[in-house]
Amino acid sequence: MLFNSIEFLVFFPIVAGLFFIIPKKFRCLWLLIASYYFYMSWNPKYAVLIAFSTFITYISGILMERANTKHGKQAVVAASFIINLAILGVFKYANFALQTLSDIGAILGLQPIERRLDLLLPVGISFYTFQALSYTIDVYRGTVKAEKNILQYMLFVSFFPQLVAGPIERSGNLLSQIQRVKEINVWEFERVRNGFLLMFWGLFQKLVIADRASVLVNQVYQNYGDYGFLELAIASVLFAFQIYCDFGGYSNIARGAARVMGFSLMQNFRQPYLAVNIKEFWRRWHISLTSWFTDYLYIPLGGSRKGTVRKYLNILIVFMVSGLWHGASWNFVAWGVLHAVYQISGDLAGKWKKRIGVQDSNNGCFSRKLEKGIVTFVLADAAWVFFASDSLHHACDIFRQMVASFQTTSIYEIGLDRGNWFILCFGILLLFVVDVIHEKDVSVFQFVQRQTVLFRWTLYLGLIWSIILFGIYGAGYDSSQFIYFQF
């Protein structure tokens, strides 16, 4: 069940409506039933996997609190990680490992490994596995207490708004809210209104911008041999906005749906394309995953506490793992390694400038920030080519075609006509304006609420109308999948 589907349009109002009218003691159970129904709408069999992962981490939390020694707690944490990562490994990485071994064997003159596992990747498995494991670590560290109520913990792992594509929530935030689910007010107009507005903005990002950009991106990337530098560059730039609006749109719909029901999910994006360096970009992009890797991998590896060489090695490890988390393919590993190279190079450049006494006197001016922002966007966009490609070979071929061919085609002949180009450009411009406003620490919601009733409702209805009229839909208004569902 996709957020941009007719099914969800029926599902969510029923779930939210009943959530507010049923007795408070049944709220947790009702949301749990709704969450499992939501997940099982893709494949009912894989509900067993999320239930098993939930049970293992739930028992691990209780056992750790009962363990009398540090070694006992460490053994429980290790067992929880091994079991959960083994499940993730089988379903997501087994065939990748077999293919890699086969390729290595071919180089050595050995027989290729023909056998592959016929397994469908369970939707959202990377997200809920990391969320459950973060709870295990938090209990081990003593930052949260083990949850004894199995229903509340099951809801924490499976909460439907953020179940399949995040944000990856922490127990200190979401679980603590679930524990207080009976205290949520039946109706707060402002909260509910803002929740729906956030959902509509997310749908605008997805249907009007992301899905429209994907038409051109798919056309050019799938037929890259027919195009030159300009067309491939345009497609690459548009993919940057496609993935931002696709994933950012999902996160906004998830946060909005949760807000309607009285829950607050963490912000997953904070104007990433306004960053002035790659390090800052990762403080703004997929914040829940970045903070997860920082807290549960980078810092335990030693962070920056064990010297420069170890720091850079840790950065490389984290980004390689991040690449593999996104997909079992070498192009994702290359994407992660490239971002590690960006960060390490930026750090070395900063140290070198400091050592020779070079200072940028115009560092705070608008033009200097603009220059840095453009460079950062170009670097991030170059890395997105690996992300958008089907394989490492595909990405390299696209870069090769960019350099080798400078043939040009009319922009109206690469997937979008004049009308769709106008709508796409207007959508991206609106996205930029909203991001700039938020960058100034001004809430668009608060600004709108200070305006007249006529202005507000004109804006609300205009947003809904634009989604209905300008959204990209398939045959029979089929909904398109979100990019991050494959992770």
Blockwise average pLDDT, block size 10, the chain, 487 residues? 86 94 93 95 90 95 89 92 93 86 78 76 90 94 92 95 89 93 84 92 94 93 90 95 94 95 94 94 94 93 88 95 91 95 90 76 75 94 94 93 82 86 94 91 82 86 89 63 65
CA gap 130, 134 in Å, rounded: 6
Report the C-alpha dihedral over residues 302, 303, 305, 308, rounded to 10 degrees: 110
Among 71, 286, 326, 438, the active-site one is 326
Closest CA relative to residue 249, chosen from 391, 425, 434, 446: 434
Task: Tell me the DSSP string of 417-428.
Answer: -HHHHHHHHHHH
Task: Write the CB contacts of 67 (distance below 8 Å, at least 6 apart in sequence).
Answer: 73, 76
pLDDT at 253: 95
Distance (Å, whole) CA 70 – CA 352: 43
What is the predicted pLDDT for the residue at 133?
95
Does 339 qualify as catalytic in the annotation?
no
HSE of 174, CA atoms in CB hemisphere, 13 A: 31
| Predicted pLDDT at 477 | 47
Q: What is the pTM of this model?
A: 0.91
Distances (CA, A) of 59 to 32, 81, 88, 159: 19, 13, 19, 19
Angle at 333 between CA 329 and CA 337, to 5 degrees: 170
127-to-61, 141, 277, 286, 445 alpha-carbon distances in Å: 19, 21, 27, 12, 29
The answer, yes or no, to whether the previous bond of 112 is cis (omega within 30 of 0) is no
